Amino acid sequence: MRLVKLIANLGYGSRKEIQMAIRNGWVTDRDGNPLKVDSKTPHEDILFDDEPLDPPEGMVLLMNKPLGYTCSTKDQGRLVYDLLPDRFRMRKPVLSTIGRLDKETSGALLFTDDGTFLHKVISPKSEVPKVYEAELDRPLKGNEAAIFASGEMMLENEQKPLKPAELDVIDDTHVRLTLHEGRYHQVRRMFAATGNHVNALTRIRIGGLGLEGLGEGEWKLLGEEEKSRIFG
Ligand code: URA
């Protein structure tokens, strides 16, 4: 029964369907021997339909989110989950995004089914910096870096000033901005408060982890070294 529950929790089907799959011999070890419901074969040696099983609970994914996709499981329109295998939506525990990107923001987006890891990444204590590249509608005025770094900038309808953020100027309409917190639409609202408008926004880095060759809409599982880079 352990095997049925394990595979069902990975989203491959209901317990009934998995029982059937086992009975039909679709669940095997690496040598192609069909497994029984009471098999104790290690996770990494189990094949479903000749393919290794998805990783167990505790997985972390990095996606290069394209524009036009929403970070939600059930909004109208295109969802970031549409870019992952369908069964990932049925996993238990659920696979969530770590924070969100706006529909019209692209770039680095993490997912996990590990609640402890999720909280560690978003916790203010971890101070994971997030780096964004923005294209602005109008040339910079020149005082933005000082305003963002001041630790005194207030956004509309907020009670607490923003933490200091670092602005690197690429040219007068292109910047890199490093944030140490994640408020709603933060980058767009920061530039709006300076009288500008963000035309295009992409997150290029979360902590020490960049997109490194991951194309738009692509994703990959993170290993231990890449996970630790988020905090490094
Ligand atoms: N700031 C924004 O304005 N949008 C995002 O998606 C992320 C940060």
CATH number (domain holding residue 27): 3.10.290.10
Q: Does pLDDT of 219 surpass 90?
A: yes
Q: Residue 74: what pLDDT?
A: 87
- Measured in Å, residue 189 CA sits from the centre of ligand 1 at 9
**CATH number for the domain that contains residue 173:** 3.30.70.1560
The closest alpha carbon to 206, from 94, 66, 65, 88, belongs to 65
User: At 59, is the pLDDT very low, low, confident or very high (cuts 50, 70, 90)?
Assistant: very high
Same domain, 75 and 178: no
Residue where a domain stops, chosen among 11, 33, 52: 52
Please give the average per-residue pLDDT across 140-168, as a whole number: 97
Same domain, 115 and 225: yes
* Residue ranges making up the domain that contains 6: 2-52
User: At 117, is the pLDDT very low, low, confident or very high (cuts 50, 70, 90)?
Assistant: very high
* CA atoms 151, 158, 131, 123: torsion sign: positive
Question: Total structural domains in the chain?
Answer: 3
Same domain, 42 and 108: no
Distance CA 69, CA 80 (A): 5
Q: Does pLDDT of 101 surpass 80?
A: yes
Same domain, 9 and 64: no
Distance CA 2, CA 45 (A): 15
User: At 35, is the pLDDT very low, low, confident or very high (cuts 50, 70, 90)?
Assistant: very high
Same domain, 39 and 147: no
Please give the average per-residue pLDDT across 60-85, as a whole number: 96
Q: Residue 1: what pLDDT?
A: 61
Q: Residue 86: what pLDDT?
A: 95
Q: Residue 227: what pLDDT?
A: 97
Q: Residue 49: what pLDDT?
A: 96
Residue where a domain stops, chosen among 52, 76, 91: 52
| Ligand 1 lined by 186 (C-beta under 6 Å) | yes
Same domain, 138 and 107: no
Same domain, 160 and 97: no
Same domain, 67 and 15: no
Q: Please give the mean pLDDT across all residues of the chain.
A: 96
Examine the residue annotation and report whether 102 is marked as an active-site residue of this protein: yes
Distance CA 117, CA 95 (A): 12
8 Å CB contact between 206 and 180: no
- Measured in Å, residue 114 CA sits from the centre of ligand 1 at 24
Same domain, 197 and 90: no
Same domain, 47 and 65: no
Same domain, 40 and 88: no
Please give the average per-residue pLDDT across 200-204, as a whole number: 98
Same domain, 100 and 158: no
User: At 75, is the pLDDT very low, low, confident or very high (cuts 50, 70, 90)?
Assistant: confident
- Measured in Å, residue 106 CA sits from the centre of ligand 1 at 9
